[in-house]
Amino acid sequence: MTQDEMKKAAAEAALAYVEAGSIIGIGTGSTANHFIDLLAGMKSKIEATVASSLASAERLQKHGIRVLDLNEAGQLALYVDGADESNYQLQLIKGGGAALTREKIVAGASDQFVCIADGSKLVEVLGQFPLPIEVIPMARELVAREIVKLGGKPVVRPNCITDNGNLIIDVQGLAITDASSLESQLNQIPGIVTNGLFALRPADVLILGTPTGIQTLTA
Ligand SMILES: O=C(CO)[C@H](O)[C@H](O)COP(=O)(O)O
């Protein structure tokens, strides 16, 4: 089974969490794309969606799935999204697709966060994947200096402007032993919009596609 097939299997398993008549938050990335494509097969069952990126909104609309602004939609029952890493507490690193801020907003507005991924994303300790941080452009050098003080190596992601008009700095070499504290600490640095740690609001359910089948972890 390829990694992509495992992502698709996880996305398919997440369909079971979709309730009739609901508005669903939709993530960003290749696993979320599988979920969007599968959701199209049951689009008459749902009321609408809220997208965490322009790319996901476009894909949903191509399938004829209604996309609402979060401010119109209100509190959502369900958010489905992928991740770059998850630990066993379902704390995540996200932002490989540069959509972390909108993803965190939509996750924060959802009662249940179902994370879908292939099994390689499950790790003992977060941090092998460089931590993405969304940064307001004028604060780039300030943020980079502060990250170095914390022991990280900041790398500005080339040719990347977020849907919010900002930069992504990927931070390598951070020891993420206390993900909640680090998430809060980084967000205190002026110029950081948010960082890709989803520890204060982890996933509620993690669905992994593995070579031997679906593995589901709950918080
Ligand atoms: O956080 C994300 C986008 O900002 C994605 O969920 C994360 O990068 C995983 O992507 P993929 O499903 O393509 O492996």
Same domain, 8 and 25: yes
- Point out which residues pair with 86 in neighbouring strands: 92, 122
Quick one: tokens of 140?
Answer: 């780039």
Same domain, 56 and 159: no
Same domain, 110 and 183: no
Give me the sheet containing 23-26, strands edge to edge.
48-51, 23-26, 76-81, 110-118, 205-210, 213-218
Looking up residue 43, the CATH number of its domain turns out to be 3.40.50.1360
Q: Which of 6, 31, 34, 101 to mutate to test the pocket of ligand 1 (most atoms within 8 A of CB)?
A: 31
Nearest residue (by CA) to ligand 1, atom 7, is: 83
Q: Give residue 21's pLDDT band: very low, low, confident or very high (50, 70, 90).
A: very high
Binding residues for substrate: 28-31, 81-84, 94-97, 121
Q: What phi and psi values does residue 171 have, to the nearest 5 degrees?
A: -110, 120
pLDDT in tens, 123-148: 999 999 999 999 999 999 999 999 99
pLDDT of amino acid 137:
98
Ligand 1 centre from 107 Cα, in Å?
14
Q: Which atom of ligand 1 is nearest to the CA of 96?
A: 8
Beta strand segments in the chain, E: 23-26, 48-51, 76-81, 85-86, 92-93, 110-118, 131-135, 153-156, 167-172, 192-195, 197-198, 205-210, 213-218
Looking up residue 176, the CATH number of its domain turns out to be 3.30.70.260
Q: Which atom of ligand 1 is nearest to the CA of 28?
A: 3
For the cut 80, the answer to whether the pLDDT of residue 175 exceeds it is no
Same domain, 147 and 187: yes
ipTM over 0.90: yes
pTM: 0.97
Same domain, 36 and 107: yes
| Ligand 1, CB cutoff 6 Å, lining residues | 27-31, 81-84, 94-100, 103
Ligand 1 centre from 151 Cα, in Å?
25
Ligand 1 centre from 136 Cα, in Å?
21
Same domain, 12 and 112: yes
**Residues classed as catalytic:** 103
Does residue 219 or residue 43 have the better pLDDT? 43
Same domain, 61 and 157: no
Q: Give residue 57's pLDDT band: very low, low, confident or very high (50, 70, 90).
A: very high
Q: How many domains does the chain have?
A: 2
Same domain, 85 and 20: yes
Same domain, 14 and 103: yes
Q: Which atom of ligand 1 is nearest to the CA of 100?
A: 4
State the residue range of the domain holding 75. 3-123+200-218
pLDDT in tens, 176-187: 999 999 999 999
Same domain, 28 and 108: yes
pLDDT in tens, 58-111: 999 999 999 999 999 999 999 999 999 999 999 999 999 999 999 999 999 999
Residue pair 8/29 in contact by the 8 Å Cβ criterion: no
Same domain, 8 and 85: yes
Same domain, 108 and 208: yes
